[in-house]
C-alpha cells in the first residue's frame, strides 16, 4: 500500500479557537481559512517553539531537506515512517531539533471494497476535537537565495480502526504530549520515540465521504459530508 497521510482537514471557521488551543497569545495577524481537503504541495499551518514561546506559521507540505538540489524532492517526502526515523540521515537530525505540531481535525484514506472499488473515508476523533499530527520541518535555500520552509507528517502502524482501511496512519499526539514534542530542550531523539504510536482506536471513528475528495481541486464542505450507505 502507498504511504499515508496524503490528505487531511482543518475545517474550523473560527481560527482564534486554534490559537487559543495552542496557547498562542500573539498570532501576528496570522489566520487560515477552513480547509476541507488539504493536499501535498500546499501551505499548511504548523506550530513550533522558538525557545521562548509557541509560534504558528505556514510550511509547505512535502519536506525539502536543506541539502536538496531542488524542491521536487518534496513530493516524495510528504511522510516519514516513525520506525525508520532514527536510521535515516535526513530525519534523525530533524527529530532532534526541528519538530512541529500540524493542526488537524480529520484525515482521509481510501478503503478497498470487495468489488474492487475504493471508498473515500474520513477519520476523526469521536469528540470531533482538534488534534496535532507529529511533524518535522526544514528550511531550504533556493538558487536565488530565498528560504523555503517545508514539513513532513510522521506515520505509524495502523490501529484496529484503521487496519481494514490502510496499514498506516498519521502519528497523532496526545494533548499532554504536545509540549514535549516541540520542547527545544529535548534534543535526544530516542526519548521522543515513545510518543510516536498509533492513537487509541476507541477514541476515533471513520465514515464514508463523497468521491470528489479524490481531487485536490475540490475543497468545499461537501468533502467532509457523511455519505449515506
- Which cell goes with 35? 480547509
* Domain range annotation of the chain: 8-224
Which pLDDT score, from 0 to 100, does residue 100 have?
A: 98
- Which cell goes with 188? 535526544
Asked about 223 being catalytic, the answer comes back as no
Give every CB contact of residue 90 below 8 A, 6+ residues apart in sequence.
63, 65, 77
Q: What is the pLDDT of residues 100-115, one digit of tens each?
A: 999 999 999 999 999 9
The rounded distance, in Å, linking the Cα atoms of 178 and 54 is: 11
Which pLDDT score, from 0 to 100, does residue 199 have?
A: 98
Percent of the chain scored above 90 by pLDDT? 85
Q: What is the DSSP letter of 72?
A: G
Give every CB contact of residue 21 below 8 A, 6+ residues apart in sequence.
103, 130
Asked about 151 being catalytic, the answer comes back as no
Assign a CATH topology to domain 8-224. Answer: hypothetical protein yedk fold (3.90.1680)
Which pLDDT score, from 0 to 100, does residue 2 have?
A: 47
| pTM of structure | 0.95
Please, which pLDDT band fits residue 1 given cuts at 50, 70 and 90? very low
Q: What is the pLDDT of residues 16-39, one digit of tens each?
A: 888 999 999 887 788 899 999 999
Spot the catalytic one: 3, 83, 100, 109: 109
Amino acid at each position: 500500500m502507498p504511504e499515508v497521510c496524503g490528505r487531511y482537514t482543518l475545517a474550523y471557521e473560527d481560527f482564534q479557537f486554534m490559537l487559543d488551543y495552542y496557547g498562542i497569545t500573539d498570532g501576528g495577524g496570522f489566520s487560515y481559512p477552513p480547509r476541507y481537503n488539504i493536499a501535498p504541495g500546499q501551505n499548511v499551518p504548523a506550530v513550533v517553539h522558538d525557545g521562548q514561546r509557541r509560534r504558528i506559521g505556514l510550511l509547505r507540505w512535502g519536506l525539502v531537506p536543506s541539502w536538496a538540489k531542488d524542491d521536487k524532492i518534496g513530493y516524495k517526502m510528504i511522510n516519514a515512517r516513525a520506525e525508520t526515523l532514527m536510521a535515516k540521515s535526513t530525519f534523525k537530525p530533524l527529530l532532534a531539533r526541528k519538530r512541529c505540531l500540524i493542526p488537524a481535525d480529520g484525515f482521509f484514506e481510501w478503503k478497498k471494497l470487495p468489488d474492487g472499488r475504493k471508498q473515500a473515508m474520513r477519520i476523526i476523533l469521536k469528540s470531533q476535537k482538534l488534534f496535532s499530527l507529529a511533524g518535522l520541518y526544514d528550511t531550504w535555500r533556493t538558487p536565488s537565495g530565498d528560504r523555503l520552509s517545508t514539513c513532513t507528517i510522521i506515520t505509524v502502524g495502523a490501529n484496529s480502526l484503521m487496519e481494514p482501511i490502510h496499514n498506516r496512519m498519521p502519528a497523532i499526539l496526545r494533548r499532554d504530549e504536545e509540549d514535549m514534542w516541540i520542547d527545544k530542550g529535548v534534543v535526544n531523539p530516542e526519548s521522543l520515540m515513545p510518543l510516536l504510536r498509533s492513537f487509541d482506536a476507541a477514541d476515533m471513528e471513520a465514515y464514508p465521504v463523497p468521491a470528489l475528495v479524490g481531487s485536490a481541486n475540490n475543497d468545499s464542505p461537501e468533502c467532509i459530508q457523511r455519505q449515506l450507505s
